[in-house]
């Protein structure tokens, strides 16, 4: 689920609030199942999460206006403390390393800057760690002020990309770019901004095959969320939904039974919460962080990305093998 990063705020439980309108949608998942919050108070409504939100009932309305400041989520709400938002993470380039930030503006497609860029092959098809695990070694840095409310980049502002064996690559954040067509991510295809020949050469050298870095073209393109679960919502280059929440308590419980513990960044959440019981997020349907409300859309099915070692880019069997023994669909929802 989605949120922000001030210190020592508590999340709260609420008994059966109604689904919120005009507020950001979030994507729910636990670190073991994952398809996909910030550091503040959170209220959650416990329900069964095995059905899509909004199936029947009110249709969700558009997200809050762009640049709704996540860090404005301070205050509000009674009830039993349920969790604390521990971290907010932004992934500017799809499948590359994330940035931990203390606050993050919310746009209509999720956190500002999140999955706004993607690396594609010669045919315009998106790379992910599933097919190019070396993406796990690519570090992305943004100006700290990029996550401040109302900030606008100038000609001197850059995104800086580094990787083993490569010189740093600087991508201007305010430059005008040419458009290329036939970019595709999963089921979506459309046009995107080409970040230029220098970026193409850098990634082509790194992957040892023709590659390009492209940026989502917000001016003319739209990409829908998974419509069965969240009709009416939009994303950029994330897989299915605007936000992913994970629980530190759940990861700690998993690491107790793994031979070698794994870090949370293997699961690539946007919002990391702490202080709740392991796996209790399975039942969260509505999450409130101060004056913002997020809807838990579905549990997040995990692909093989959490099995990739972020220090060497090598794919292994864990944690998937262990998760299958107690967190798979067959175990959680057996047929009778």
Contact in structure between 262 and 310 (CB atoms under 8 Å): no
Q: Judging by DSSP bridges, how do beta strands 245-247 and 271-274 pair with one another?
A: parallel
pLDDT higher than threshold 90 for residue 127: yes
Task: Kindly give, in sequence order, each residue whose CB lies less than 8 Å from that of residue 307, ignoring residues fewer than 6 positions away.
Answer: 266, 315, 316, 317, 318, 319, 320
Measured distance CA(280)–CA(47) in Å, rounded: 10
**pLDDT the model gives residue 17:** 26
Beta bridge partners of 183: 190
According to the model, what pLDDT value does residue 245 have? 92
Q: How far is CA 188 from CA 5, 41, 182, 241, 309, in A?
A: 32, 35, 10, 14, 29
Distance CA 211, CA 200 (A): 6
Instruction: Tell me which of 229 and 315 has the higher pLDDT.
Output: 315
Mean pLDDT, all residues of the chain: 76
Structure token pair of residue 240: 């299915």
- What pLDDT was estimated at residue 31? 27
DSSP 172-203: ESS----EEEEEEETTEEEEEEE--HHHHHHH
Share of the chain above pLDDT 70, in %: 73
pLDDT > 60? residue 141: yes
CA distance 44 to 316: 35
pLDDT digits (tens, 9 = 90+) for 22-49: 223 333 332 222 222 334 445 555 443 3
pLDDT category at 333 given cuts 50, 70, 90 is low
Cis bond before residue 118 (omega within 30° of 0) = no
User: How far is 284 from 295, CA to CA, in rounded Å?
Assistant: 9
Q: Which of 44-58, 104-118, 179-193 has the lowest mean pLDDT?
A: 44-58
Residue 274, classed as helix, strand or coil, is: strand
Q: Rounded to whole angstroms, how far apart are CA atoms 334 and 336?
A: 6
pLDDT of amino acid 57: 29
Where on the phi/psi map is residue 146: left (φ > 0), alpha (ψ -120 to 50), or beta? Answer: alpha
CA–CA distance, 333 with 86 (Å, rounded to integer): 30
CA angle 264, 243, 178 (to 5 degrees): 105
Gap between the Cα atoms of 58 and 232, Å rounded? 12
Give me the mean pLDDT over the 226-240 stretch: 80
Alpha-carbon distances, residue 177 vs 216, 234, 241, 333, 336 (angstroms): 11, 23, 27, 49, 57
- Which of the residue ranges 35-44, 107-116, 222-231, 264-273 would you say has the lowest mean pLDDT? 35-44
Task: Look at 40-49, 60-69, 90-99, 284-293 and tell me which has the smallest mean pLDDT.
Answer: 60-69
95-115 pLDDT, tens digit each: 999 999 988 888 888 999 999
Inform me whether the pLDDT recorded for 209 exceeds 90: yes
Among 50-54, 197-201, 248-252, the minimum mean pLDDT is found in 50-54
Q: What is the per-residue pLDDT for 117? A: 96
More confident residue, 71 or 78: 78
Confidence of residue 14 (pLDDT cuts 50, 70, 90): very low
In the numeric block, which tokens belong to residue 115? Answer: 């999955």
pLDDT at 230: 77
């Amino acid at each position: 689920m989605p949120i922000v990063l001030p210190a020592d705020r508590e999340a709260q439980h609420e008994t059966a609030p109604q689904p919120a309108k005009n507020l950001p949608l979030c994507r729910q998942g636990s670190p073991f199942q994952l398809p996909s919050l910030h550091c503040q108070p959170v209220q959650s409504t416990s329900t069964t999460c095995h059905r899509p939100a909004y199936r029947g009932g009110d249709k969700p309305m558009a997200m809050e206006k762009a640049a709704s400041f996540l860090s404005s989520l301070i205050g509000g709400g009674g009830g039993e403390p349920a969790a604390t938002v521990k971290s907010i993470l932004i992934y500017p380039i799809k499948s590359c390393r994330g940035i931990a930030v203390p606050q993050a503006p919310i746009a209509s497609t999720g956190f500002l800057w999140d999955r706004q860029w993607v690396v594609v092959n010669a045919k315009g098809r998106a790379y992910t760690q599933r097919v190019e695990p070396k993406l796990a070694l690519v570090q992305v840095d943004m100006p700290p002020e990029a996550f401040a409310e109302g900030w606008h980049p100038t000609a001197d502002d850059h995104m800086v990309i580094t990787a083993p064996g490569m010189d740093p690559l600087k991508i201007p954040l305010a430059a005008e770019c040419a458009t290329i067509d036939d970019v595709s991510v999963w089921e979506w295809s459309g046009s995107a901004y080409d970040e230029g020949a220098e970026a193409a050469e850098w990634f082509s050298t790194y992957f040892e095959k023709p590659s390009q870095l492209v940026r989502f073209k917000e001016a003319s393109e739209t990409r829908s969320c998974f419509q069965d679960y969240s009709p009416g919502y939009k994303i950029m280059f994330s897989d299915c939904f605007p936000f992913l929440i994970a629980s530190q308590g759940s990861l700690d419980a998993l690491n107790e039974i793994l031979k070698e513990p794994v870090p949370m960044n293997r699961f690539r959440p946007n919002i990391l919460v702490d202080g709740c019981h392991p796996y209790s997020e399975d039942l969260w349907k509505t999450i409130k962080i101060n004056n913002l409300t997020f809807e838990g859309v579905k549990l997040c099915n995990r692909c093989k990305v959490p099995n990739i070692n972020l220090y060497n880019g090598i794919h292994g069997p864990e944690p998937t093998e262990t998760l299958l023994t107690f967190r798979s669909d067959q175990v959680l929802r057996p047929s009778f």
